[in-house]
A and B are shown apart, each in its own frame.
Chain A
Amino acid sequence: MATKILMPKLSDTMTEGVILKWLKKEGEKVKQGETLVEIESDKADMELEAYDSGILRKIMIPEGGKAEIGVPIAIIAEANEDISALLTDTTPAAQQIPKTETAKEASKSLPPSSQPASSIVADGRVIASPLAKRLATENKIELRAISGSGPQGRIIKRDVEPLLSGKKTLQFKPAVPIIRGGHRDVELSLIRKTIAIRMQESKQTVPHFYVTGEIDMEPAIAFREQLNTATNSKISFTDILVKAAAMTLMNHPSINATYLGNTTRQFGEAHIAVAVALDEGLVTPVLRNCEQKTILQINSELHDLAERARSRKLKPEEYQGATFTISNLGMFGVEDFVAIINPPEGAILAVGSIIEKPVVKKGQIIIGHTMKVTLSSDHRIIDGSIAARFLQDLKILIEKPVALML
């Protein structure tokens, strides 16, 4: 049967989308589940999968073209099928049919499965099999946090089941018994549940490896003091690290990247997420285009984002779409630690405390200040030598911080 592919609603705020790239040509065969087109929404670039098999008969919006949500962008049909009726009809679905139908149509052309919200249709309903719904209710799992793998993003048993075992581990095998003489079951916050799912998914699917380096922080300490005195501001080591990481990433595109099966997508911009700890869990506001920003800009933006993160006022687009993450536990006296990659990013940098300790310089033992950083990398796209070179370059920048002003 001939099917119109409509411009999907890829975020709550999206009104129109841009066709970035057609991955199929007119006349080419399309299989259900294959990526058909890359679409730019107001939040991110997303891939749209085909939900029917057939022949891509007509591309109605070319690459670079814009279309409102619900407007047909292509037609998939059998080879000999008459599609003339569909061709003439290019008005948005939203104008043709009642509202509830629009939601249905939009969900048909579906957001990509890598998005956790893909099982939620425009009217806010979660699409899940009755069994998945029952399992979720019985086990107090938030279905909204789960990504569905069934048709139209339907959440099915296999999407919920991994969480059941994960939950049991959390509930029944606490590492440290906190409550004396009894136990307490604490309902997880929504943030906590999301972290649980995403971190478990990351550790189970992303092959992590870790490279640790030690950085001499004497120059950076002096540099920061100078900056703060000169500008009368409160620049933090995190601000400096964000800038240094962004600049280093520009020279290491294979780290500023994501794994896409047969390809790795390398990003030309450094959108760096910085982990901010809240009582309910961790949030990671994203600083965009850090490669273009000054340390001062980064400082004020990060301050603003962190403040709003603490008051829970971040918009979804402000904590999504990073290409790299920095997690700094330096303020807690941690010498070093390893972090879990936040998919779909390719790497994360874990930063320890600046520690005063004896160091050897020019053959002499003196009192120095050093900081350890550990890069966790996705081994599917990053090798040890690449990670090591990244750390090397990062170390050079931080140890000669004047280069950060370039």
Chain B
Amino acid sequence: MPVVSIREALNQAMDEEMARDERVFLMGEEVAQYNGAYKVSQGLLTKYGPKRIIDTPIAEAGFSGIGIGAAMVGLRPIVEFMTWNFSLVAFDQIVNNAAQMLSMSGGNFNVPIVFRGPGGAAHSLAATHSQALESIYAHFPGLKVVMPSNSRDAKGLLKTAIRDNNPVVFIESEMMYGEKGEIPEGEYTIPFGVGEVIKEGTDVTIVSWSRILQHIAVKAVGRLAEEGISVELIDPRTIKPMDWELIFNSVKKTNRLVIVEEGWPFAGVGAQISHEVSNHCFDYLDAPVERVTQEDVPLPYAHNLEIASLPNIQKVIRAVRKVMYLD
């Protein structure tokens, strides 16, 4: 199987879908001539020309609105945000137009648009450039939220997103663009709402996604294994729709759940998972559900405080030991 970076996987997905369907086009800041701020659209301008690979002004609300309008009349735009932090400028367009148009128009206008770009913290980008916004977008009916954690999922899920007839919020990780992984040979897609058991285990279930899954949870699970604690690690891959059955079945087996996410605690994705699990697995829980989240403060610029604020391996180990009543 070919080994490619997440950057290349995303590029392949867009390339293949643009070749397959001429209604698909990409626009955003620096996506064309500069080949993308993170080089995800490398080579696409040369291949598809300036009518389908469009550099926009620094005006997220404007080009998001243009994308939504284009989608309403039959095109299939991919709108790249240089980071998801800038999507807040286009929040009104995404929420009030993209998410709600189908319902508001009595089913007359589908909005087949993909909003994509990197989310979450990198290194010392400070509060306004480090936000994990998945819980906010997952809040709105009408939006799907996708967060791949590896090359295979990035490609398969982005192709599914482009083919979806409704708006999809596709959140990548700046820190992971260069990380390589195997992808299947040839054409493939990955359906939404199907999570993956990254590692089977018996003592406690951890649900985590995107960078925090790969950089924090996986490592914590390794350390816990050295202590003899067997963790079942689940990557839901899509935040909405969520693969509830996968999580419920795992919790029914392990009786304990820890959710590890980059976002803030209040009304976070983990809060929703915790609720669903307490509802569907009540008689199977041997301990209250624990969450590891970012601290409830704007993310500090200072690197040491940034580390202290974000989820880390020690925090995950502590939470797992707590639900196992080991401390």
Contact = CB atoms under 8 A, between A and B. Distances in A.
A150 B256 CA distance: 14
B111 to A, nearest CB: 42
Nearest to A133: B283
Interface in A25-72: 32
B327 interface: yes
Contact of B286 (A32, A151, A156): A156
Interface in B76-120: none
Contact of A151 (B282, B283, B284, B325): B325
B285 interface: yes
B287 interface: yes
Interface in B285-309: 285-287
A130 B284 CA distance: 6
Contacts of A149: 325
Contact of B255 (A131, A133, A150): A131
A79 B264 CA distance: 29
A131 B282 CA distance: 8
A289 interface: no
Contact of A157 (B255, B282, B327): B255
A132 interface: yes
Nearest to B278: A130
Nearest to B288: A129
A157 to B, nearest CB: 4
A130 B286 CA distance: 6
B284 A134 contact: yes
B interface secondary structure, majority: loop
Contacts of B285: 129-131
A158 interface: yes
A158 B286 CA distance: 9
Given A32-B327, A149-B325, A150-B325, A156 B283 contact: no
Contacts of B283: 130-131, 133-134
Contacts of A131: 255, 283-286
A37 B283 CA distance: 36
A158 B287 CA distance: 11
Among B282, B285, B286, find the residue whose CB has the most chain A CB atoms closer than 10 A: B286
A156 B325 contact: yes
B237 to A, nearest CB: 28
A341 B314 CA distance: 43
Contacts of A150: 287, 325
Contacts of B284: 130-131, 134
Interface residues of A, number: 13
Interface string A118-145: 0000000000011111100000000000
Nearest to B327: A32
Nearest to A129: B286
A151 B288 CA distance: 11
B246 to A, nearest CB: 20
Contacts of A129: 285-287
A130 B283 CA distance: 5
A129 B324 CA distance: 12
Nearest to A160: B286
Interface string A146-158: 0001110000111
Among A130, A149, A151, A156, find the residue whose CB has the most chain B CB atoms closer than 10 A: A130
A149 B283 CA distance: 19
B299 to A, nearest CB: 25
Contacts of B327: 32
Nearest to A156: B286
B323 to A, nearest CB: 10
A149 to B, nearest CB: 7
Nearest to A157: B286
A159 to B, nearest CB: 10
Among B284, B285, B325, find the residue whose CB has the most chain A CB atoms closer than 10 A: B325
Nearest to A150: B325
A158 B325 contact: yes
A151 B282 CA distance: 19
Contacts of B282: 130
B179 to A, nearest CB: 38
B45 to A, nearest CB: 57
Contacts of A133: 283
Interface string B259-291: 000000000000000000000001111110000
Contacts of B325: 149-151, 156, 158
A129 B282 CA distance: 9
Contacts of A132: 286
A104 to B, nearest CB: 16
Contacts of B286: 129-132, 156-157
Contacts of A156: 286-287, 325
Contacts of A32: 327
Interface in A92-131: 129-131
Contacts of A130: 282-286
A190 B327 CA distance: 33
Among A131, A132, A134, A158, find the residue whose CB has the most chain B CB atoms closer than 10 A: A131
Nearest to A33: B327
A129 B323 CA distance: 11
A157 B255 CA distance: 9
Contacts of B255: 131, 157
A158 B285 CA distance: 12
Nearest to B255: A131
B160 to A, nearest CB: 37
Interface in A376-390: none
Interface of B: 255, 282-287, 325, 327
28 contacts: A32-B327, A129-B285, A129-B286, A129-B287, A130-B282, A130-B283, A130-B284, A130-B285, A130-B286, A131-B255, A131-B283, A131-B284, A131-B285, A131-B286, A132-B286, A133-B283, A134-B283, A134-B284, A149-B325, A150-B287, A150-B325, A151-B325, A156-B286, A156-B287, A156-B325, A157-B255, A157-B286, A158-B325
Given A130-B285, A132-B286, 6 more contacts: A130-B283, A131-B255, A131-B284, A134-B283, A156-B287, A156-B325
Interface of A: 32, 129-134, 149-151, 156-158
| Shortest beta-carbon contacts, A-B, top 3 | A134-B283, A131-B286, A157-B286
